[in-house]
Structure 1
């Protein structure tokens, strides 16, 4: 799979493709259905399938602190696209210049001049361009003028409800990881590099791996039963994700994982933490001793659930 960062990196060889556009946060089952349609159409016409995404996501650009928490970072999203058989990803920087493009300018500069689009797959509620002035009907008219076809993607539902990134965030907030797995088509996980932290876990009797989040906000908050695959072996443990209100910190979300009966060196490794069950919300304790007792209770509860 090829990643192209920005319109200025498009070359003549990139023209002529089948395209879809969106944030694709989570790359959930609904997204996967769109990507499957894209891949199938690209195979039928013998052209590459291209996904156009934005970094940052538009709502992160307009209101970073109020934007919904990321389900997938760019690196993870790209890996999931590759698993889905996508040939090319065009990642556009969402900045003032892109924001001010009219719908007509977006079609002309990105889809026609940049990609030479032959077929476009989008949701019938897709909006784009300055002030979100472009819609599905506008794309259909543009396709007639510029010679590309446009199809709307079918809504994918689970238990009668549309699968969306918003619904997935709500399900994760409620701690329903079984439903989250059905919406995603895989268990919910967070991948990041293990960094050196404050070593507070060691002082509290439960050393933890500090997993880099690289998010303004985290999609989870609390204490969870988790697992991690290391060198072909599933390691079981407990994770805390939140701002650590009991200890003085930077106010940013952190992911700390304690693995049972493990004393290996994880520093610098990229790891994937799989979430299975929420044990409790994050809370502020009056003392480190009270926090230590709560951690011991969390570990005991998780061990019992794991049958350890």
Structure 2
């Protein structure tokens, strides 16, 4: 899969294509249904498939402080989209110029003239153009004139629940990881590169892997029992993770720190996939580092009990990892 950064970098790479567009935050089951149909259309028409993303996401541009929390970083999106077999990701920079572009100009200049889109598939709630004035009805007007074929999918529903990024954020906010898993089609994870931290956790006796979040507002806050997958080695471990601003040390930006059980390797620069299994507690500002150290010990004990309980359940059902 190739990532193209903006329309200016197309350089005739695409001579006609099939395309879908949106934020694709979380790439939930509804998004996956769109991409599945896109691939089917690409195969039928023997044309390359394109997923157009917007960075930052529009609400992050217009209202950065009140924008919804982000389920996925741009890199996580691209990795997942690649795993689905898409040919191209077109990442469009969402800036004031793009925000001011009329819906008609976007269609005529971007989709028709530059991308030469032959088939477009979108969700039924897709909006675009200045003041969100573009919608499927406007796209249909151009389709009726023969510029491209258009398909729009109805909302994806699982157990009478409409699948959406908003619904997944709500599930995570309520620590309902089973609901989030049902809507995503997989467990909720955060993937990222291990970076150098301030070594405070190591000084307290609990070394952590610090993972670059690449998002201003994560969807989770607190301390969690997690399963950690080392992507390159394809090995799995358990641990506890703190995701938040670390108020005890006057942190200002959100970070993800993972203490991996029974693990002592140098993994700086490597990628981990952190699956959130159960919340242990909210993030708290402690009066001292000693109090924080005591709490971390308690957190680990709680996590080990959750792990043992989970292992017993899996053993009873005759499955599980070691």
- Contact between 1:25 and 1:165, CA under 8 Å: does it hold in 2? yes
Matched residue, 1:152: 152
Matched residue, 1:258: 259
Instruction: Report how many residues are paired.
Output: 307
1:241 to 227, 240, 243: 243
Per the TM alignment, residue 110 of structure 1 is displaced from its structure 2 partner at its CA by 0.8
Matched residue, 2:314: none
SS at match of 1:111: helix
**Counterpart mapping for 1:13-52 below 5 A:** 13-52=13-52
Query: CA–CA distance in 2 between the matches of 1:269 and 1:82?
Result: 19
Query: CA–CA distance in 1 between the matches of 2:59 and 2:151?
Result: 25
Per the TM alignment, residue 13 of structure 1 is displaced from its structure 2 partner at its CA by 4.3
- Contact between 1:112 and 1:146, CA under 8 Å: does it hold in 2? no
SS at match of 2:278: strand
Matched residue, 2:140: 140
Matched residue, 1:184: 184
Q: Which runs of 5+ in 1 are unaligned?
A: none
Q: TM-score, normalised by structure 2?
A: 0.92
Per the TM alignment, residue 51 of structure 1 is displaced from its structure 2 partner at its CA by 1.0
Per the TM alignment, residue 302 of structure 1 is displaced from its structure 2 partner at its CA by 0.5
Q: Which runs of 5+ in 2 are unaligned?
A: 312-322
Matched residue, 2:128: 128
Per the TM alignment, residue 125 of structure 1 is displaced from its structure 2 partner at its CA by 2.0
For residues 104-143 of structure 1, the C-alpha deviation after alignment (integer angstroms, 9 at most, x for no partner) is: 1000111000111111111222111111111111110012
Matched residue, 1:95: 95
Query: CA–CA distance in 2 between the matches of 1:232 and 1:179?
Result: 26
SS at match of 1:52: strand
Query: CA–CA distance in 2 between the matches of 1:12 and 1:199?
Result: 48
Per the TM alignment, residue 146 of structure 1 is displaced from its structure 2 partner at its CA by 4.7
Which aligned runs of 4 or more in structure 1 are off by greater than 6 angstroms? none
- Contact between 1:71 and 1:219, CA under 8 Å: does it hold in 2? yes
Q: TM-score, normalised by structure 1?
A: 0.96
For residues 127-176 of structure 1, the C-alpha deviation after alignment (integer angstroms, 9 at most, x for no partner) is: 11111111111110012235211111121112211110111111111111
SS at match of 2:112: helix
